[in-house]
Chain A
């Protein structure tokens, strides 16, 4: 049984999402909707981590790292900077999303209904963050790339 590995992966990925949200929020206060939405999405990421905690304990996964805001590299023109940072956030979300998929597969195989329930509820929230990030990237790209 290696579900503990999958749980640790998901938790690391969600922690990275939380850190990326903090970083994007801190760097883009002037893009007010982005700033406010990173706060809302951070609540969802925190809720996911909270939901994971009991199953992590049950599978003997050690304590999770603190979400450290990643130091984004490369400053560019204002619009491009937002594209750059949201793209990083997208990748964090994508990582977390596929990790939820894998954990969900494992949970089904292990016939662990409680874990499966956590996965389906949490994965929906990760996908919601992913969807917002794609939407905002698509919104920002035309002006950033043609101005």
Chain B
């Protein structure tokens, strides 16, 4: 055993523990304590600032959090922590936490009691229900609350109010993952497991910058890459990410052309006979349609559209086509791009035609962006009915009505739930005058920020915001509810490979802040929601009883949590629902009576009906769905010659509400920047650190230039930066530029689309852009000081 101190801002992935194929991943326990701290106790939790689900304990001393320590026993991280796990918790103790409710009076937000705030919400809810009906109320939640919170919100909205307007900001991060799984396998549910990294002989990352989105998962991949018999690596990404630098084949496709690249990959795999014909014959439908659709998609055809080398496409096809154990992962590069669901489904198709499912090393991970995104999908807080039920299947709705003891007609099921971008339209048109936002910041995170501001700050909408801080969105609210956060409340959440973790309350929330669950239980009580027999609709009273109520709701459903209890999670560590891998026996939750959806046309989102689905897939097999590539809605032109690509950096999460308040993370990426390829920077007369204006048809921002590894013709802007910590400066939000458009199937907005113009504003004078140097934003050259954390960023690593 060896112990060492590592600057984990400078080296975010920590020390390597190389591992060979099929070997268990060694423990490496990371720990960080503030100087001189001696925790009295350690309290169990997991990551709340990304979707990896790293398990750790939080040290508590004198009622305050003083540090963190990875859980070596946990299957997800085996003790490792990413930089946001190590440093993010400090934001909890920020002195600008909300500590009392605020109510808008005479145009100003003023302190109010909980009774006054809740009475205002209840009075407005009741009045609107009486005058205009349930369609006047909408709820927009998060990807960072707990399962218990979401489930409670789902029953309140769907059965208490009876509105179809409920969505999560998971619409922005994980909607396509869920939708692609539903389209291909009939039902949501992550097929693969992180363990597949340890077994794979080829890993393909599709629009997945894993080094920054799930750093500990990348550490697992790095340990394979640096161990004996490493896997081959394919990366499809317009940026030269760290995985791209390690890849055997990197396809830096033009944004908006993923489907063209995927169709060409599938064409090559099929044309070369690299398919498992027996598996396809036994377990899939739709092969002929897929084959016909991709047949014309030659590497040369795709090369022209994607602007990559045709031979590189052939090499990529060979890599995935000849692997014995292929693991495919997908994230925002596909999900937030044009034809998102269609492209993500082609990754599923690749796994299906190659028979790469349900065995060690053979899997698909349609990743999530946020820590608890998976739970919005399971509980019905994101657009799907709870328990992966099918809104178009009357038996599923009747079963949900039985669980909730309400009339089936009370639960809207005349269509998919209203996605957030459609809710914005209803807000804009005045038909949705009540909007309750919890733990998210739409003013900064939704596309076309100028439009969102004009809608939400118009004064025409009764806006409730439930949050930790006075976010940009909270500032324009009518009621602000101070919420407790992670470690100040108890609950469970589930990561991207179906691992459920318990997060226990460790300290008290500040002032009068309350747990989200308690806020909604209070609302349900005050609204007096009743079931069919006159009993309380929401009959639970604390996190554990909410968890058990959810379990009863999903019993006998594919995402059954049977056997998972608070006690077991407390005794051990993370537990997967559904076992290590789904679909091990080539059986799917896709039978017509069982499936979560009858499916949609991938090009238009047009819904298939039950009869069509029964004809297509009577035996419940996997569905090989195909679609033709069509060009993205706004391509580059004379006025706006570059393509916009927005995204994240390793050191921040969403709109920086937490990471901007954690000193080490904030210092590592303190301000917005724009990333250009050297050839584009030269053409525009821009050098590292110059101040530039980035303008689209919708808005403009200013940012310093990083001459880096993004592909030619593309301007990358990180989306984390709003104006809460710099209110006097013009907005620097990437969403000032983005287009209002979304995928027709998953309704996920296209954050990686649209055209911009970049022009010089001022010389940088030798000062570099405020962008990290050890991530995808690494400088292309020159003399840029390396990103460092210093002594305050040193983590103690205990190695085997």
Contact = CB atoms under 8 A, between A and B. Distances in A.
Interface of A: 30-33, 36-37, 39-41, 43, 78-79, 128-129, 131-132, 134-135, 138-139, 142-144, 146-147
Interface of B is mostly: loop
B603 A128 contact: yes
Given A128-B603, A135-B606, A135-B607, A143 B414 contact: no
B164 interface: yes
Interface in B624-676: 630, 633
A-B pairs with the 3 shortest C-beta distances? Answer: A131-B606, A147-B431, A132-B604
A128 B414 contact: no
Contact of A131 (B422, B426, B601): B601
B415 interface: yes
B129 to A, nearest CB: 12
A138 B415 contact: yes
A31 B741 CA distance: 10
Nearest to B447: A32
A30 B605 CA distance: 19
A105 B132 CA distance: 50
B415 A31 contact: no
Contact of A43 (B416, B630, B742): B630
A79 B431 contact: yes
B601 A132 contact: yes
Contacts of B605: 37, 132, 135
Contact of A147 (B136, B414, B421, B607): B136
B604 A131 contact: yes
B606 A132 contact: yes
A41 B136 CA distance: 32
Nearest to B633: A36
Given A37-B604, A128-B603, A31 B135 contact: no
B742 A33 contact: yes
7 contacts: A36-B633, A37-B604, A43-B630, A129-B604, A139-B415, A139-B416, A147-B432
Given A78-B429, A138-B415, A144-B431, 8 more contacts: A30-B428, A32-B740, A78-B431, A131-B604, A135-B606, A138-B414, A143-B418, A146-B133
Interface in B726-754: 740-742, 744, 747
Contacts of B601: 128, 131-132
A129 B605 CA distance: 10
Nearest to B742: A33
Given A79-B429, A138-B415, A142-B135, A32 B603 contact: no
Most buried by B among A40, A41, A139: A139
B568 interface: no
A143 B604 contact: no
A33 B741 contact: yes
Contacts of A30: 425, 428
Contacts of A134: 606-607
Contacts of B608: 131
B391 to A, nearest CB: 12
Interface in B368-425: 412, 414-416, 418, 421-422, 425
Contacts of B742: 32-33
B744 A37 contact: yes
Given A31-B425, A147-B132, A40 B741 contact: no
B164 A142 contact: yes
Nearest to A139: B415
A138 B430 CA distance: 20
A142 B414 contact: yes
Contacts of A131: 601, 604, 606-608
A138 B418 CA distance: 12
A32 B744 CA distance: 11
A39 B633 contact: yes
A143 B744 CA distance: 19
Contacts of A36: 633, 741
A51 to B, nearest CB: 14
B604 A40 contact: yes
A41 B604 contact: yes
A49 B432 CA distance: 41
A43 B603 CA distance: 12
Contacts of B412: 142
B600 to A, nearest CB: 8
A32 B604 contact: no
Contacts of B422: 33, 139
A146 B429 contact: no
Given A32-B421, A143-B426, A147-B431, A128 B604 contact: yes
A71 B740 CA distance: 26
A142 B164 CA distance: 9
Contacts of B135: 142-143, 146-147
A77 to B, nearest CB: 8
A128 B607 CA distance: 10
A132 B601 CA distance: 8
A8 B370 CA distance: 54
